[in-house]
Structure 1
Amino acid sequence: MELTKKQVSITKGVAILFMLLLHLFCTKDYQGLFTPLIMIKGVPLVYYLALFGDCCVAIYCFCSGYGLMCTYKNNPDEYNKRNAKRILKLYINFWIIILLFVFLLGYLTGNSATYPGDIKTFLLNVTAISVSYNGAWWFLTTYIVLVVLSKFINKVVQRYNNVLITLIVFVIYCICYVQRIKVVITFSNPFLNWAITQAALLGTSLFPFIIGAIFADKKIYSFIFNKVNNIKFKNILCIVGILFMIVCHGFVQTLFVAVFTGIAFIVLFNLIDKPDSLDRLLYYLSGHSTNMWLTHMFFYMVYFESLVFMPKYPLFIFIWLVILCIIPSYLINIIFNFIIKKYCNH
């Protein structure tokens, strides 16, 4: 019983919801932003829930590696062509968001000096080489590089010992994590600084991406599913497992563990038998997840901070931000589908 395309899509959507939760509430300096209802030794409970959301990138990378390996195995001859289309579509989606949220909103809110700013800033952002308009866009560059490298990665995963591969990419993860967090190596040359920053981001994302590819190639999820699916109280045990990770992460508050909590969450979350109504809701949200990822920071940080935090209480703020992101997502999707139908389906 492998993960279906729908399950992977839903899990990616949950990763984006985790990202929103992380960015909204992973702060102990909450005064003036929101009113927490439950406190644990002076710290809002929502802080710990948001902290667990730091696994969002690991979840997204795993799902991407998993999905791309499945695509590669189904049709290796068309793989590069499909990936080229995948990247082009992502860029088109990205450019529509730049048009609406950078040019249009920048002009309407009187922020055109920054959004879009000068021509150099614009060109660096529109190519995703450097993404100063929106901090959440850093992963766009990393994701595109992962997609470009994925055929080579898939071949390596299929050809060589997966335990050895896992050990190697874990070492890479550790080295790149230290560079990313501590910034051990710096250069006076801005291009070299950019390159080493991108290398560190890629290295920390490569580990969950390759684990996802290994899961897909070796059908590891099927093995786990067949072992535990008929266990009594499976759903309760999986929920307890997720809650246990949240509690443990509250004690070990380092981003380093996010890759492990993320992979464990994917397995536990998908093993849970969820109500159809919840599945439908999460699948609906997953259809807007890319737009939520690329736009949410414009709402809560750039243009409309007071509007986003207007509901005061964390649950309502979170739901409100999701709604605010989904409303323009429909317009983005309409423009996107028009462009794809008219210019890209030939």
Structure 2
Amino acid sequence: MFRKRESEFCKGIGIAMMIFHHLFYKAENYQDFVISFAPFSEERINFYALLCKVCVAIFVFISGYGITASYYKKFADWEPSVGEIKDFIWKRIWKLLTLYWFAFLLTCLCQPLGRTITEAYGGELKSKIVYFLLDFFGLSYLFGTPTLNPTWWYISLALLIILAVPWILKLFRKAGILTTICLSMGLLFLLNASNANTFYLFPVLLGAGCQEGRVFERLDEFCKKKRWGKAIKIISETVLLLFMISIRTNYNYFGIPDGIIAFLLAVLTVDVLIKIPFLSRGMCFLGKHSGNMFLIHNQIYSYYFVGLIYGCGNWIACFVMLVGVSLVVSIGMEKIKEWTQYNRWMERIGQKTGKTIFYI
């Protein structure tokens, strides 16, 4: 079963891959520092870092799966009305923005350390206000406007996922899971519509489809009926994962390899990885803080503490340092939220705002 703990484990792997990707995917990031890449070459580490871009598909897959699970938990016994779906969507959006805004505010307060609002948005006042508001609501990527943090482009994608999943589920019910996925991807191929949002359509559909079709449960049930079923399943998943990684390094295929890799990581987590005690505890702990770490790690290594991170002299030390600093900052952020009752206040504001938006 792929539950909350398995989800947190995959998020832990995802955030570790994201940090590694951002640190080393291009040499320009660390060109002013001397870093040892032993026992690998610098080019090999750059290659692995580029491959770790699949972390985005991991988060997208989990989002599709998790939103679907929440949807059916809330509407288990009845077909929701349009108003109920809107309310469901609003609560998910507000939860995302609540997480995002705290990091956004922290980034604004930390301007003396680097990356000021003027540097990000320019000096013209009207443009600065417009860009600030679009960035504040997570829409800068959709409108192609400047942002305080380039990695926050994902907020725009996350908002689209939240908006799309309930309607995707309606398509699943009417047309079927496989039909919906095949027609959607076929349309992308025909239109040759390739951008960051359409690239991650397949992982969203796959994640939602796995929950809708009880794929994890059915795989387990099937393997239990076969002799050596579990072992064969694990070996097959591992071989297919390695094959998809080799495909992913050479071709685009509209995000299909990325989605399959995310799915295979999820099933291997359920079958094997989550059962490794030390790895399980570590990845689940990182997974709990993955949201904050995603939102603040770029500021740390790009603007605030560049020398501290890249000055470690060794690629492993650089990676461990950024993971450690991001984790400590995230823990601090959660403590401040706890002391100020930030989440409780934001929940109340969200409820009132939702009523204002939907019931005027």
CA distance in 2, matches of 1:19, 1:141: 17
Is the 8 Å Cα contact of residues 238 and 272 (structure 1) preserved in structure 2? no
Q: Which position in structure 2 is the counterpart of 1:224?
A: 219
C-alpha distance in structure 2 between counterparts of 1:110 and 1:26, whole Å: 21
Aligned partner (choices 337, 342, 351) of residue 339 of structure 1:
342
**Alignment partner of 1:206 is 2:209:** no
CA RMSD for the aligned pairs? 2.9
Matched residue of 1:231: which SS? helix
Task: Tell whether the 8 Å contact from 2:6 to 2:266 is kept in structure 1 after alignment.
Answer: no
Cα distance in 1, alignment partners of residues 57 and 114 from structure 2: 35
SS at match of 2:38: coil
Could you tell me how far apart the structure 2 residues matched to 1:71 and 1:148 are?
14
Any idea what the Cα deviations from partners look like across 1:96-154, whole Å, max 9, x if unmatched?
212212x2221344845325763222112111121511111111011112112221111
Q: Which residue does the alignment assign to 1:19?
A: 18
Indicate conservation of the 8 Å contact 2:237/2:264, yes or no: no
Q: Are the structure 2 counterparts of residues 126 and 308 from structure 1 closer, same or farther at C-alpha, using a change threshold of 3 Å?
A: same
Q: Structure 1 residue 272 and structure 2 residue 282: aligned?
A: no
Check 1:24–1:109 CA distance in 2 against 1; reply closer, same or farther (3 A cut). closer
Residues 1:304 and 2:305 are matched in the alignment: yes
Note the residue ranges of structure 2 that are not aligned, 5 or more in a row: 123-127, 142-146, 352-360
CA offset at residue 72 of structure 1? 1.4
Q: Deviation per CA, 1:33-58: give whole Å up to 9, x if none.
A: 5321133xx55433333233121121
Cα distance change of structure 1 residues 316 and 172 upon mapping to structure 2, 3 Å threshold: farther
Asked if 1:129 is matched to 2:139, the reply is yes
TM-score (norm 1): 0.81
**Deviation at residue 325 of structure 1 after TM alignment:** 0.9
Task: Look up the SS of the partner of 1:113 in the other structure.
Answer: helix
Distance 2:326 2:168 in 1: 34
> Please, which runs of 5 or more residues in structure 1 have no aligned partner?
181-199
Paired with 1:125 and 1:9, the residues of 2 have a C-alpha distance of 27
In structure 2, the CA distance between the partners of 1:179 and 1:135, relative to structure 1 (3 Å rule), is: farther
Identical columns (%): 24
SS in 1 for 2:265: helix
Q: CA deviation at 1:294?
A: 0.9
Write the distance in 1 (CA, Å) between the matches of 2:54 and 2:322.
Answer: 20
Q: Which residue of 2 aligns with 1:89?
A: 95
- Structure 1 residues 242 and 167, CA, compared in 2 at 3 Å: closer, same or farther? closer
Q: Which amino acid aligns with 1:107?
A: P
Q: CA deviation at 1:330?
A: 2.1
**2: CA distance between counterparts of 1:141 and 1:147?**
10
* Residue 292 of structure 2: aligned partner: 291
1:241-294, Cα deviation, whole Å (9 max, x unpaired): 5455445544x1658443333333333343224322221111111111001111
What's 1:325 paired with?
326
Distance 1:236 1:44 in 2: 30
Query: Could you tell me which residue of structure 1 aligns to residue 358 of structure 2?
Result: none
Q: Write the distance in 2 (CA, Å) between the matches of 1:69 and 1:157.
A: 11
Alpha-carbon offset, residue 308 of structure 1? 1.3
TM-score by length of 2: 0.78
